[in-house]
Amino acid sequence: MSLARLLKTPVTVQTMAVTGADAYGNDVWSVVASTAALTYINAKSTDENDSLTTDVSRAEVKAFFLPTVAIHAQDRVVDDKGRTWEVVGEPLEWRRAVGGVVHHIEVDLQRTS
């Protein structure tokens, strides 16, 4: 089965960039571009911290994109349910053994709420 047949989930890739600094000199990141793309999302892990002082849940997934999608370590992905995911680490380009052409891009995503 080809990868293109698996890519059924519509997402928006939000390109993030430093657009200024706050009063303390820290970088302020903002969305500077949005691009529609199709992806296949595979669950990796979920966990919850149910302590008395905080109630935090975290989910991690791996997303697969066609090689034509521009996505970087600082970007975000908004899925078809409106959830925003942050890219964790550098996206990986997987190349074909013969010819070295990029077959797809794998991206680790994390959502914390």
Architecture of domain 3-112: Beta Barrel (2.40)
Give the integer Cα–Cα distance in Å for 61 and 53. Answer: 27
Report the alpha-carbon distance of residue 24 to residue 5 in Å, rounded: 48
What is the model's pLDDT at position 58? Answer: 80
For the entire predicted model, the pTM comes to: 0.82
Q: State residue 98's pLDDT score.
A: 87
- What pLDDT, in 10s, does the model give residues 71-112? 999 999 999 999 999 999 999 999 988 888 999 999 999 997
pLDDT at 1 over 60: no
For 2-54, write each residue's pLDDT tens digit: 777 889 999 999 999 999 999 999 999 999 999 999 999 988 766 666 555 66
Q: Return the pLDDT at 100.
A: 87
pLDDT of residue 48: 61
- The residues with which 68 forms a beta bridge, in sequence order, are none
Extract the runs of DSSP E, i.e. beta strands, from 2-101.
9-21, 27-49, 56-65, 76-78, 84-95
Amino acid 53: pLDDT: 61
**pLDDT of 49:** 62
Domain boundaries, the chain: 3-112
